[in-house]
Structures are given as C-alpha cells and as structure tokens.
Structure 1
Amino acid sequence: MEHQESNGEVFEKFTWKIENFSQLNSVERIYSEPFVLGGYPWRIYFYPMVNNRDEKLSIYLEAVQMQTSNVSKNWSRDVKFRLVVFNQLDTNKTITNESKIVFNASSAAWGYASLMPLVELRDPKKGFIVNDVCIVGAEVFVGKRNLTPENRVSQAVTLTGNTNVEVQKPKPEVKDTKDKAREDLQVLWEELEKHRSDLIWLEPHVQSALKIKNYVEKALYVEKLKNNVVDQELETKRLKTKLVAAEENLNIERELLKAKGI
C-alpha cells in the first residue's frame, strides 16, 4: 500500500509475516526473502535471540545486489526508509522508526540496534506476537539525487520466497516506461505483420514479451490481495479485542444493576 507524504514522497511497503516465532529462540539472525521496493532489491534481517547486553530487538534493512555482470562496485542509493514492528491488537502501538541514509557497497545495511525491548516483543499481552506470529515491515522511498548510478530492477525479477510487495503506481499523467515500451512493441509488430513473410522469425520473441507482461500484472495483483488480507487480519484482531472489552464492561454494568435490584 502506498503512502503519500505531504512533500510528494511515496513510500512503497513490504510486509513480512513470521510464523512459528517461538521456534526462533535458538536462531541468532533471521532474514526475509529478497523483495523489490523503489526499483531496487532489499531484505530485512533481525536478531530474535535475547543475546545482547541491552536485550533489545535489533533490526536492519539491507540493500541486495543482483549478481549480474553490469553491477557497479561503486553503487549507491539515496534512501529514506522506515522499519516497522506491527502491534496486532492496537495499531496505535505499532512501532515505527524512520531514517534517511545513503546505502552503498561499504554500508549496505542500516537499521536500529535497540528498536524495542525483546521482553516487550515476546509478551503475548503486548500484541506484537499473536498466535505465534510476528509481523514486521519496511517502507522505502528512493531519492533522485545524482549518486553513482545503479541499474534498477523490475518487479518481475526472479527473487526467491514468498513476498508481499505493493508496487508504486505511476502518476496518471506519466506512463511507465516499461509499459510504454511494450505498447510500442505491439504497434511495431502490427506494422511489421504487413511484411510477415520476411519477419516470421521475430514473432515468437515479440509474443513472449507480451505474455510475460500479462503474467507479471497478474502476479502483482495477487501479491496486492495478499497484503490486503494481512491488513484485514490486523483490523479484525483489533475489533475483537475491543468487543471483548465492551462485553466485559456490559457484564459489569449488568451485575451492578442486579445488585441494586433493578
């Protein structure tokens, strides 16, 4: 889900649902699968064990580099980001920290060494872990300062694992360059079909590109629905908590009325 700031910045969001959290007591560090925000690949990692002096949750956002031949060793990303630990019982208690940092080859991971006490995170009454599930997230806005160029990647790039990414939509008046290129390719193919006999070899390549576009659009739509489901689950849990409290208050009032003979 996009979040439009007053200054025009649009943060793209990734939500990581960690199940069976209690089984991570012996795990020193846990990584999310790679995901794409702002046209670049990232991953989240944190330390679930109570093994540091302050016993605080340490969580970081790491810039991932795709293993391709054209990757620059001097790449950099001008980024404003937020790391989030969701409270599943009360969204007003969700913990969010924001920073503005330049990620580069020598400093590829940034975050918070003491985001919150681990004892608070693990307390079932606090609402950060419900049904042995912890939900964390990242929100990223990539600036446009003139830094060392780095190739952006498509949301369709092969990244392993289950991710929940919502992609920044283009402004209505601006056409996405990849979509525009594919539309131009379609028009070009229609024109070239007039000379079909000489260009029959090109057809499978063009048709393949068009089919990939359709697949990517459907895949992104499915991921968006998954993220909406997570949001609805959080809202449902919050409403159930309010309902329990309201029922308890109602029972108290009923007992008071009985005591007064009403």
Structure 2
Amino acid sequence: MENQNTKDKMFQKFTWTLTNFSMLGSKELFSETFSLDGHTWRIFMFPKGDDGDFLSIYLDAGVDTMPHRWEKIANFKLIVINQLNDERNIIKESSHTFNSEDDDWDFTSDISLDELCDSNRGFILNDTCIIEVHIVIDMLEHEKQVDVSERNIDNIKLVESIENRSSVEMISTQSFGEVVDFRSIGKVEKDFIPLLEDVCSRYPSLLNSKKRRSQKFIEWALTALGRVLYFLNTKKVRDMDDDACNHLQILWEELETVGFDLSWLKPHVQSALGMKSRIERVLEVKRLEEKVISLEEKTKALRTEMIEAELNLEITRRELVKAKEDFENCDLDAKLSYGKPSIIYVNE
C-alpha cells in the first residue's frame, strides 16, 4: 500500500494478492480494507464469476460508517496484474461518485475466467492472482452533501450552490429532479423515465440482461444509461466544447461497465464526441469565408484606387505637355542683378 499525498490531492495504491486461487469458492471475496481520506475502502470479487463467465471486480467505498447524504468523487484504476508481462495488464480507469446510496463500482473485463486461470497467459502464476487499485481524490473538491429533501430544486441553482467544483464534476454529480419508480424494478430520476421507456421498449434486452442483479445495481445501471441519454437529448451541437466532450466521455465509460449491449448507442456517442472537431472545422470555414469577403472588398477598393491614380496620371501628363508649349527656358541659377541690364551671350 502506498500513500502519495500533496497539498491538493490524496493518492492511494493498494495491492491485493490472492493465493490458492483455484481453491477459492464461488462466494464474493473481500480484500483487506485500506484507509483514504478518513474512511475505509476495499476491493471485492467473485472468484467463480458474478454475472457470466468473465472476471468482475468491484471497488467498495465502505460507506456503512459514513453519515447520511455523504458523497465522494474518486478517480481510480483497477488493474489485474500480468505477472509475465506488465504491458499486458488489464486496466480499467474511471471516475465515479460514491455516496450513501451507491457505495460500489464494478467492471467486467474482456478476459474470461478460463483465460484468467490459464497460467500461460500470466494472470495467475503459482496459483496466485494480483489486483491493484490506484485512487486519486481532490482535497478541495472531493466532498459535498446534498439533502434528499432538496432534490427538487432547480438544476442551475444546485450547480451555482457548489463552489470550487469543475464543470464536469458539477454536471456528473448533480441531481436532475425527484426520484420515481421505473417499471417496478428500481428508482431513477424522473427526467430519465421517458428516455428509458423509449429505449427499453425498442431494446428489451437492456432489462432482460439485468434480471439476476440486485435492485441497487439495476438502479445504478439505469441511472448511468439515463445520464447518457439525457445528455444526448438535451445538448446542442454548439454545446460540444472540451468540457462537454470530457463529461460525456466520463458518463460513457461508466455506462460501459454496466454490461448493457450498447451497440445501438455507441455510434451516437462517438458522433457526439467527434462533434467538437466538426464544430472547429465549421468555425474555420466561416472564418476563412469572412476573410475572403474582406480581402475581396479590399482588393476591389485597391482596384478603384488604382484606376483613379492612372486617370490622374494621364491628366497630369497632358497638363505637362500643355505647360511646355511656348515655354521660354531660363537659367534658374542666374543672378537677378540690378542697374545695367545683364548681358546674355547666345552662341550662334
């Protein structure tokens, strides 16, 4: 376990070594707890799988001893160590808001349990599996408390009431409104209900795939889906700046860990994430169009000025020719003199 705390951030690295892995049962298994920012955390997993034949790992915030309405934002990595080649480690990086109602986060890896237990792959050697978690918490921004009785206040007022918080964090942790029941399977934000009804009617597998999960997990999964749908349904093209793209990326990565079949949604998210570059190209085209118009106007003005200058030149030339007619040359350097008239010698 490693601590690397600074003035602004707290960092914790915890390593969980599971020996005699093949002898472990099918029940969930918890690591030792470790402390970060005043309370305990732990990792847990199902050695024989939880939902399917793929490895699932959970990060638990250990909120049993924390006060009601407690919340904490954590940026973290869960890593399954490859003991033969660390470049093949399985890494999942995410940002998640842990609170008194949602105290754990999980991801299903791309490796099956059979592949995991294959010693040739390097994840389990000498019947030992190693899992690491790296957590970073911002000392100035990581906590807030929201009274449940105030969930119905206006979104904007809630954002304005939270100071010293980045725009992405404000959006991802705010409440959208009152929580209501969805199809008698869990409670989610009211604003998400029409969106969830629409997609669940078109893609029934979204709910069928989660029937064996706990109500708490289902509520978290539906909320993660609802947040992405709400984002796509309310944002406009012009809104997709760096902050909005980063926020959508965080929401999407969290939703991917749920295990839904998201093939129908992924193209829309990718299109939204690529919108910033398209917006930049549109703005660049408009900038160049405006510059072309400006230069054309300037060129037109210069042409007009050139025509006028050529005309003035021609008029001046004609005036010069006329002025030279009957012109009597004289020496401009000669003295004016006085008295006797000056004698001018002319060579014949």
Q: TM-score, normalised by structure 2?
A: 0.37
Rg comparison, structure with higher value: 2
* Bigger RCO (CA 8 Å, 6+ sep): 1
